[in-house]
Structure 1
Amino acid sequence: MTIYDNNGGFGACGTELHDTDMIVALAKDTWGASTYNPATGAATNPWCGQRIKVEYNGNHIFAKIMDMCPGCKGADIDLSLAAWKELTKLDEKTRLKASWTPA
């Protein structure tokens, strides 16, 4: 898992994302195709809004998948700053080994 900045830009699910949100971005490999409703433009990818449990070093958090990570591979995830700090208790932005499952 890694960490990424969310400064009010729109994620792959079509909503504005912030560092204070408890969210993750899913690897492009797992995400699949980005799909949209042609009538409304709303994102229809089945991962959008799914809640997951992320575990690291005996700690866990619950977060929502709200974005896609183009640089991530396989089951890798990118965490928002809020999710990262709550899970790892670290200020350092680095890469760590964690696991996640649907919640």
Structure 2
Amino acid sequence: MTRLLQITLFLLTIMLVFINVNAFRGDATFYYTGLGACGSINKNSELVFALPAKNFDPSPGGNPNKNKNCGRRAKVKFGNKSVIVRCVDRCAGCKPGDIDLSPAAFDKLADRKRGRILVTWEFI
């Protein structure tokens, strides 16, 4: 019985690791939008985000306007709240896992007075 329990716990642990393999965890801040690295002009009222430079830059070809991450959608979660956002920019000051949200997107998760919140997010 003990051996069966050990195997079950091991398999469950492996499953949990693979379920969240595409999820990121980091700080979310907000920024005032405008002309983004993807080449579009965005408004603060749009649900958009800037991807950390280390995630954004490796796109082939070097042209940020043709970056494969431009337009990708992500689901950002904070507590029991979530928001779906679209990638439109590059965040030079973000560490891997961090995300920079438009004011409208940040407002869906928390009061802007907080300035920085710990979130999980993943591409969808």
TM-score bucket (shorter structure): 0.7 to 0.9
* Pair 1:97 & 2:118 matched: yes
More strand by share: 1
* Pair 1:10 & 2:31 matched: no
How far residue 33 of structure 1 moved from its aligned partner, in angstroms, is 4.3
Pair member with larger Rg: 2
Unpaired stretches in structure 1, ≥5 consecutive residues: 37-41
TM score, norm. by length of structure 2: 0.71
Unpaired stretches in structure 2, ≥5 consecutive residues: 1-27
* Contact 1:23-1:63 within 8 A present in 2 as well: yes
RMSD (Å), alpha carbons: 1.5
**The one of 41, 45, 51 aligned to 1:26:** 51
Matches of 1:66 and 1:87 in 2, distance apart? Answer: 19
Task: Give the 4+ runs in structure 1 shifted more than 2 A.
Answer: 33-36
Letter in 1 for 2:51: L
Matches of 2:80 and 2:43 in 1, distance apart? Answer: 26
Letter in 2 for 1:61: V
How far residue 17 of structure 1 moved from its aligned partner, in angstroms, is 1.3
Letter in 1 for 2:30: I
Classify the secondary structure of the residue corresponding to 2:106.
Answer: helix
TM score, norm. by length of structure 1: 0.85
CA shift digits 1:42-79 (9 cap, x unpaired): 81111000000000011111000110000001111000
**What percentage of residue pairs aligned between the two structures are identical?**
33
Classify the secondary structure of the residue corresponding to 2:37.
Answer: coil
Number of aligned residues: 95
More helix by share: 2
